[in-house]
Amino acid sequence: MSELHRAGSGPPLVLLHGAAMSWRAWTPVLDALAQHHDVIAPTLPGHRGGPAWDRSAGTFTVDRLADGVCAQLDAAGVGTAHVVGNSLGGWVALELVRRGRARSAVALSPAGGWRSGWDLRRLVWTFRVLRVVTRPELAGVIASHPGLRRAVVRRTMEHGERIAPELVPDMIADVRGCDVLVPLLDAAAAHGATRALEHLPCPVRIAWSERDRMIPWRAYGAPMRRIVPDAEFVRLPGVGHVPMWDDPELVVDTVLGVTLPASEAATA
């Protein structure tokens, strides 16, 4: 059975994590969001603990990834929901908007747009290096040294030392256990950036981390203005690519600033 975290009550809120991670990426914000929402945080298909990737079905594209997420939501009895995604999860969140499964969407530094082929190839090499330096036998050492935790995840977080030591082994295993990332990036290189999403059927906020070293705004965020021209664009000050650990309160406020008014409008 695939891993899925669910807690809280209220309008459903789906949290979609980034590449080579799991639902645990949302740990710092789960309790606060569950005070307002029925929070559903699945582990994405092809990731450790998520539904397996069926290699016989062909290329693993983002469309297929979105198909898998829709199947997970169907299995959880969720039709439409507020959707929040980070990085790859942000790309999928925008695809759920396109499919009419989102009541609102917040995409935190979403993947799916890039300035050149070089920008995409750089991501492939970044993740390959990450797999090399995050080895299971190093989990104990990394967990016991806050400075080392910060150094290892420097490209994705400003404050990696805030990661709970007991989560380090799982996070390393998540990186090692993701077998779809390179196929996804290869498919993206072949098919291009995500298709334009215009005439939005629901509120969409795209929030870019100010200190995003993984997919910085100029190369990856600015193209999003052409892809989703009607979205609201905001900046998240002082945080890295995975902002949930750097500033949980900021992320919660960014999410609830969209989901609560959207829920109130729907009720009215």
- Mean pLDDT, residues 38-51 taken together: 95
What is the C-alpha to C-alpha distance for residues 17 and 97, in angstroms, rounded to an integer? Answer: 16
Query: Which residues lie below 8 Å from residue 61, measured CB to CB, with a gap of 6+?
Result: 184, 187, 188, 191
Q: Is the pLDDT of residue 12 over 80?
A: yes
How confident is the model at residue 29, as a pLDDT? 98
pLDDT for 147-180, tens place per residue? 989 988 888 999 999 999 999 999 889 988 888 8
How confident is the model at residue 133, as a pLDDT? 64
pLDDT band, residue 253 (cuts 50/70/90): very high
Q: Which residue has the tokens 């297929």?
A: 64
Please identify every residue annotated as catalytic: 87, 212, 241
Q: Is the pLDDT of residue 52 over 50?
A: yes
Any idea which of 52-61, 121-130, 222-231 has the lowest mean pLDDT? 121-130
How confident is the model at residue 1, as a pLDDT? 44
- Mean pLDDT, residues 188-195 taken together: 76
What is the C-alpha to C-alpha distance for residues 69 and 81, in angstroms, rounded to an integer? Answer: 12
Tell me what the pLDDT averaged over the chain comes to.
91
How confident is the model at residue 237, as a pLDDT? 98
Residue pair 205/174 in contact (Cβ under 8 Å)? The answer is no
How confident is the model at residue 40, as a pLDDT? 98
**Contacts by 214-219 with C-beta closer than 8 Å and gap 24+?**
214/87, 214/109, 214/123, 214/126, 214/155, 214/156, 214/240, 214/241, 215/87, 215/109, 215/111, 215/114, 215/123, 215/241, 218/115, 219/114, 219/115, 219/116, 219/119
pTM over 0.85: yes
pLDDT band, residue 2 (cuts 50/70/90): low
Q: Which residue has the tokens 């699945």?
A: 42
Cα separation values, 156 from 13, 109, 151, 193, 245, Å: 24, 11, 10, 22, 10
Q: How far is CA 164 from the centre of its chain?
A: 19
How confident is the model at residue 131, as a pLDDT? 67
Q: Is the pLDDT of residue 132 over 70?
A: no
How confident is the model at residue 117, as a pLDDT? 73
Residue pair 80/100 in contact (Cβ under 8 Å)? The answer is yes
All domains in the chain, ordered by first residue: 4-267 (3.40.50.1820)
Q: Is the pLDDT of residue 135 over 50?
A: yes
Helix (DSSP H) and strand (DSSP E) numbers for the chain? 11, 7
What is the C-alpha to C-alpha distance for residues 13 and 186, in angstroms, rounded to an integer? Answer: 30
